[in-house]
Structure 1
């Protein structure tokens, strides 16, 4: 066969090297073309075809690779660095070199049994790859509170309730969420709750109306500690509803109920995603997704902006650069809390340092970027880590300032900022608002940026305008450092596509100029990569 015809792509592919041809299920045939390459005399030209595909777009694809045991001796003939992370399966690693084991490990390759002609692996692919991983939290403003406890409830911001009282020796329903949830299939339901007294006990109840009556499932503290309820609710018939039951006495803080597609093992929000949380039951979470890319410098870090969807923003954008990357997402409160907070900040830094070490990189081979709330994190963690480059679009720096100005000077509610001050400081007042901003600027103004490049796109009529302070500080203290910037007329969300396209172009420029990367001309048009939600 000539060219790349053997691996011709009309939809996503499953490419199986070696072993016996597997039996493709109807479910898989709907979403994937299955290609089987048996071990034999024609291996070399076909592997050369495959490597040509890898050199183009394979690492940005949703294709799946399966290696049978008898193929592993040919593994050196494949450019493993170009394989897509978390989309590689193998029977065993017997006889594989240490270098190749390291690459497969960084790529998140997974062991698989193929003795059943592919039944289990195809079901796994159907459940966790063909179906888009996603999540969201229920609206905490649409809630019924039991009449006898209404005087005991304090609403803290737009996403948390604090309830204090004597709830009795038996469980009583305290709250019911009125927003019905309509996703079905296998779901993971994880509520956020904090108890201030060991004298309180609780459980959440999930209801569903069925043809045979109402069914329910309870989330006890014991189940909660294991990651919440995981259940396959089947096809959609009626929405799910939720309630909270409490007994005992004391104070309880009730946060979001997060509903997500169920994933296996310790995957979080996507296959390959991981959860950052403390050990308290019902604690809030951050998520990160590491992709080893082509294993060549630099490591690019991207902090997602504020968003309702609990997914990893920027997967294909960052994958388009080919380099290793980490995505961070903050699903706390109402669309995020600026990646700040005790128990999280050091773990974010430790995660980045761990991946740098695994790749054998140093901080001179690190770029940190983000948009809006993510730009705040890029500036804050960039100041703490002093990377090669910091890239920020629609930068925010003054969470407290946004809180104070919210009702007077902005068309946006900025509940995001007020909720964050409440979460981090406990009370919403001007002193706490000023303190949280002082913490940011203390970190930023004392950092060493002598070897850091800045690329900043900012809105000229934004509510928070930190650019001039950043510019003045860099000019006064680091006059030889590089600062590329662009101001665009309008308020925060008036030209998000323009900000994002400029942001992507700066990433390409830094990767080409400072790290010697080369990209086809068609890849340098960011208009095709727009996937960032407006905030």
Structure 2
């Protein structure tokens, strides 16, 4: 991971000698009088973009460069109990900035690269990568690839129940965050044991982490850090007590050390089964519309289309579904779906926007999210590419028309409908359409790019038109020749052009 970052210090004096800075941090100093010139210098690439903009006092000239301050990059480091103007506090809030106590400065700056690096990466170890000890287990069942259910009398002492088959590298200076999907009976206690072995050795144990309380409290982070050398991590789940435990994916991600999930500023919510929805909000110029983008199917965890949405210039919210192999189509338990709605609703409230200042969007799996949650917000427009609406039919096609092409569709169907038989196939379709048909879309426009020979959802576009046509609704359709994954580049170009058109025609704004 590239941890090199640029820091812009604004102040009357250059105070870099005050801080202990890692070698990955490049320090740039300007005086307050130069703030007005910075936007032009950044646009002309005389100055780089800055991951961190550091102030040590309130500087009124900072407002002159507000347009080039990225969210989550503004850091005010000063002594406690310093009075700040309402206007300056407002700027910190608008830019999602951070206020750091001067007494904690050196500890904060020592790990600055890990907190503010621009990359993102996450992955997971799946249920088919578990080795299960049968010593105490009387019953084992697999809920597809979602989780493994185990019941038994595990005894009064800690015993290893699950060992993950593969090791994960832990590189020097690259901390990892862990997240385990699980549910269990209260009579069962669990803890995650992580052992690091020095790379290249057979059994030279470097360090061991034991996470117990962190598993119980979703607000606590399971964090593993190197001990100065590259190591390999081995994972096992220990249990004691008597009852049932269900274990799903074990996620690991490059950590921002409390300053965001996957990206600096990223956040997450989860339901009772520890199934997550992750989000990233960039307020941009805080002018309508808010553009919500649901990420598509991704085996590597992270946010999709960041650069594309950033280039549009309007406030945007990225959502990603890290469940199963590459996502579970943003549908799940009632609590899970309420979390997604709460994220969108709170973002609208933050901006002071209404549903008519909202655009929901997504491509492929992301189209399902945009369409499925459109009845909850009645947005101004829904923009989707390669729509997937009939989740039951997609699973049916896995057996009869596309064997081995997308087996995750069976897990998705089982998760939302309880099985993969004929009744569940119908139910998987009906769950979407019953909700979709309940909405009054009289003030919503739909822009849909579809593949004419789509082999995932063969009738997705046709069904959307049929369900919307009885109502007075505007639909913009664009058909392209090919199967589902044959012309993604063409769909993306259409997708961007549709946003630009809506911006110009409906919100009086231009976009790059």
* Superposition TM-score, scaled by structure 2 size: 0.88
1:157 aligns to what? Answer: 144
CA shift in 2, pair 1:390/1:235, >3 Å:
farther
Greater shift in the superposed pair: 382-391 or 264-273 = 264-273
- Supply the distance in 2 between the matched residues of 1:373 and 1:65 (Cα, whole angstroms): 36
2:265 is matched with which residue?
272
SS in 2 for 1:290: strand
Change (3 A) 1:175 1:320: same
Q: How does 1:172-187 map to 2 (within 5 A)?
A: 172-184=159-171, 185-187=174-176
Partner Cα separation in structure 2 for residue 380 and residue 58 of structure 1: 45
Q: 1:143 to 1:59 in 2, by over 3 A?
A: farther
Counterpart CA distance in 2 for 1:38 and 1:114 is: 20
Give the structure 1 partner of residue 463 of structure 2.
469
Partner residue, 1:286 = 277
Residue from 106, 118, 130 that aligns with 2:117: 130
1:185-196 equivalence runs, <5 A: 185-195=174-184
RMSD: 2.9
Where does residue 5 of structure 1 map in the other structure? none
> Which residue of structure 1 lines up, in the alignment, with residue 438 of structure 2?
446
- Structure 1, gaps ≥5 residues long: 1-10, 524-535
Change (3 A) 1:319 1:61: farther
TM-score, length-normalised on structure 1? 0.85
Aligned counterpart, 1:83: 69
Q: CA deviation at 1:97?
A: 4.3
Q: Does 1:246 align with 2:239?
A: yes
Is 1:353 matched up with 2:340? Answer: no
Question: For residues 94 and 48 of structure 2, what CA distance do their matches in structure 1 show?
Answer: 16
User: Does the C-alpha gap of structure 1 residues 90 and 274 become closer, same or farther in structure 2, counting only changes over 3 Å?
Assistant: same
Would you say the 8 A contact 1:73–1:95 is kept in 2? Answer: no
Structure 1 counterpart of 2:155 = 168
User: How many Å apart are 1:16 and its aligned residue?
Assistant: 1.3
- Aligned counterpart, 1:295: 286
Instruction: Choose the corresponding residue for 2:10, options 5, 8, 17.
Output: 17
Aligned residue in 2 for 1:329: 320
Following TM superposition, by how much is the alpha carbon of 1:438 offset from its aligned partner in structure 2, in angstroms? 0.9
> Is 1:381 equivalent to 2:369 in the alignment?
no
Pair 1:74-2:66 in alignment: no
Matched position secondary structure for 2:470: helix
Secondary structure of residue in 2 paired with 1:255: strand
Count of matched residue pairs? 496
Q: Do the aligned partners of 2:191 and 2:215 also contact (CA within 8 Å) in 1?
A: no
Structure-2 change in CA distance of 1:483 and 1:57 (3 Å): farther
